[in-house]
Amino acid sequence: MSNVFYRAVNKEYLEVDYGKGIYLYDTAGNQYIDACSGAAVSNLGHAHPVILEAMMSQAQKVAFSHLSRWTSQPIQQLADLVAQLAPGSLNKLYLVSGGSEATESALKMARGYFVERDGQSSKYRIISRWKSFHGNTVGSLSMTGDKRRKKYTPLLLNFPHIAPAYCYRCPFGKEQETCEVECALDLERAIKMEGAEYVAAFIAEPVGGAACGAIVPHKDYFKIIRQICDHYDILLIDDEVMAGFGRTGSMFSIDDWGVVPDMICAAKGMSAGYSPLGAVIAKQEIYDTFKHGSGVFVHGHTYGGNPLSAAVALAVVKTLIADNIAENSRTVGAYLLGRLQETLLPFSFVGDVRGKGLMLGVEIVRNKGTKEPYPAAMGMAEKLTVTLLKHGIIVYPGSGNADGENGDQFLLAPPLIITKDQADGLVAGLAAGFKEFEQTYFTLK
């Protein structure tokens, strides 16, 4: 009996021994393709020598100092580099320890901005989307539109949610080629219902992640969202905790929509899993409002901005640039998406294969014609995940995407260093696992 309080207390866990490149190895010596990078984290793969060297070098100097008193060269250099990469005037980096802390910080920053700007402000509510995931702390879970919020509803803030940008299951019954992007216009409806004077921000993932399996919005979606936010004096928070730093084929995913948000939330790929780190990248205008107001953003976390994590992230981002990793994500991702669609869509239980760059999703359905999902109680995504493990493939399963309770999908987010040959190996492993799954569960159609 282990004394570890695991997230799923009755689940059997693999014991990892070591990792190398896109592969993980268990203590029995079995090799697995880390086809989800943990949770879209290990963007540079495992045991990258450049990152390990940067980690060791900084640890020998100083691993921790507290931002209430100390700054450091890694923090300043990282902020300067990110400012060069981020769009528009997003050039101020607020460091934390992970994705939930980043979105929680953005929530508070949005509220603080309007208080600082106006002296007193009624703006405090954050609008988000259903079928979204923004984190597990109380504020970030309040913004989340995924079923994992349900048990904690009495503890959550009463924030409104709008329709997702989910073309496979369009909530308005439209087709992407001919729709009027009603899912974006739903934001204006919600603002009018809530009252713009009470709404501080709208938060959205550019490509949906853990809650929906890589759904990609209409090409005009974020342009319409930006216009609505500007019209009603509402901040646009771009949650790139999963999609950012090369995952979808651009350094920041929002760049592909030609829109500049007011804040970007980042984590995961920013330090590539080598040290816990998250961040809010804020516009100069937001920073200046605090600077010329009270001078203080009343918020903070103990490990935010520690020199070790900052030095690791600096090495990661430099490597992303030097090795042109975002372009590899774009080209290999497009190749992998084509191979997945060709190989997996013929299976009777695969409804959709979608994504952008190396953020890809596979949706499992009971009926391809009607898109009827399997009941949640059957746990089909988890069963498929366990089957794929036997074929050396690790994926990131999710459920509830169809109607908030039922529906199965999984995310594929391999390290961004993956080659086309390795992508072929991934597809071969998936195909073998899917065939076994079909033979085992075909009676459950």
Task: Express each pLDDT in 198-213 by its tens digit.
Answer: 999 999 999 999 899 9
- Provide the Cα torsion 214, 219, 223, 226; round to 10°: -10
Is the same domain home to 256 and 347? Answer: no
pLDDT tens profile 187-196:
999 999 999 9
User: Positive or negative CA dihedral for 318, 321, 253, 351?
Assistant: negative
Average pLDDT of the residues in 71-87: 98
Share of the chain above pLDDT 90, in %: 96
Is the same domain home to 318 and 328? Answer: no
Per-residue tokens: 257: 């929509």
Average pLDDT of the residues in 144-159: 95
Average pLDDT of the residues in 20-28: 98
State the average pLDDT for the chain: 96
pLDDT tens profile 221-253:
999 999 999 999 999 999 999 999 999 999 999
Is the same domain home to 300 and 370? Answer: no
Say which residues have a Cβ less than 8 Å from residue 233's Cβ, sequence separation at least 6: 196
* Tally of domains in the chain: 2
Q: Is the pTM of this model over 0.95?
A: yes
Is the same domain home to 313 and 229? Answer: yes
Determine the pLDDT at residue 353.
Answer: 98
CB atoms within 10 A of CB 12: 7
pLDDT tens profile 266-292:
999 999 999 999 999 999 999 999 999
- 444: pLDDT strictly greater than 60: no
Work out the pLDDT band at 12, boundaries 50, 70, 90: confident
CATH number of the CATH domain containing 431: 3.90.1150.10
Among candidates 258, 263, 298, 262, which has minimal Cα distance to 278?
263
Instruction: State the Cα–Cα distance between residues 378 and 273, nearest whole angstrom.
Output: 32
Write out the residue range of the structural domain in which residue 364 sits. Answer: 16-47+324-443
Work out the pLDDT band at 1, boundaries 50, 70, 90: confident
CATH number of the CATH domain containing 163: 3.40.640.10
Instruction: State the Cα–Cα distance between residues 137 and 15, nearest whole angstrom.
Output: 27
Is the same domain home to 346 and 258? Answer: no
Is the same domain home to 302 and 361? Answer: no
Determine the pLDDT at residue 445.
Answer: 46
Among residues 322, 355, 377, which one ends one of the domains?
A: 322
Is the same domain home to 269 and 344? Answer: no
Is the same domain home to 138 and 268? Answer: yes
Report yes or no on 2 lying in a domain.
no
Is the same domain home to 317 and 365? Answer: no
- 101: pLDDT strictly greater than 90: yes
Determine the pLDDT at residue 365.
Answer: 96
Report yes or no on 4 lying in a domain.
no
Output the CA–CA distances (angstroms, integers) from residue 18 to 34, 41, 43, 275, 398, in the order listed.
12, 16, 16, 16, 26
Report yes or no on 5 lying in a domain.
no
Work out the pLDDT band at 262, boundaries 50, 70, 90: very high
Is the same domain home to 367 and 432? Answer: yes
Determine the pLDDT at residue 208.
Answer: 95
Concatenating the DSSP letter of every residue in 236-282 gives: EEEE-TTTTTTTTSSSSGGGGGT---SEEEE-GGGTTTSS--EEEEE
Instruction: State the Cα–Cα distance between residues 414 and 236, nearest whole angstrom.
Output: 29
Assess contact for 243 and 359: CB atoms under 8 A.
Answer: yes
